[in-house]
Amino acid sequence: MSETAAITPEMTMEEVMKAFPSAQRALFQRYHVGGCSACGFQPTDTLAQVCKDHNLLDVPAVLRHIVHSQEVDAKMQRSPEEVKGWLEVDEPLRLIDVRMPAELEQEPFELAEVLDTQNNQKYMELPKDTRIVFVCQNGERSLDVAAYFAGHGFQNVHALRGGVDAWRQAVGSRA
């Protein structure tokens, strides 16, 4: 259990999420824990208590899943320079902006199509190997959306690391 030495059942969820930012996303995706009020937890709850409350008997497996999901998240993220390179050589991809309307209005990102939340089915009908890069303001929400799509069988989904903020800093203002 050397990989999971940094995380223990006695840690509070606040400590777990600080050490492993993907923990809440991982718990929700695999165990449906932490995504809504019915399955939520408090930051002061220990991981052991959350497992007990949600009848997750194999606590070491939960620990391994949290660690593994952090690795998966890291692999899913792409730098602005890498995405720019794909665009410059016309690599086939869908660049999809998942920001809220107010964010879009305040700071447009013309290179990306806006996620059509009213017609989510059109995305689910894309071939599962379609390269999709999700974009948000700082990279957090896009990672959630990329993980959601990965959970629905998409094999080539990514999140722009650092979002529009990082793009503007690394690539420049043209977006």
- Check residue 1 and give its pLDDT: 40
- Check residue 175 and give its pLDDT: 54
140 CB contacts (<8 Å, ≥6 apart)?
163
What are the tens digits of pLDDT across the range 5-58?
589 999 999 999 999 988 888 888 788 888 777 788 999 999 999 999 999 999
Distance (Å, rounded) from C-alpha 72 to C-alpha 95?
Answer: 20
Q: What is the pTM of this model?
A: 0.77
What are the tens digits of pLDDT across the range 102-154?
999 998 898 999 998 888 788 889 999 999 999 999 998 999 899 888 878 89
**Residue 2 pLDDT grade (very low, low, confident, very high; cuts 50, 70, 90):** very low
DSSP code per residue over 146-173: HHHHHHTT-SSEEEETTHHHHHHHHT-S
Strand 77-78 to 94-97 pairing: unpaired
What are the tens digits of pLDDT across the range 62-88?
999 999 888 888 899 999 999 999 999
From 66, 19, 15, 67, select the one nearest 43 (Cα to Cα): 15
Residue range 79-170 in CATH 3.40.250.10: yes
Residue 133, Ramachandran bin (φ over 0: left; ψ between -120 and 50: alpha; else beta):
beta
Each domain of the chain, given as residue ranges in start order, spans: 13-75, 79-170
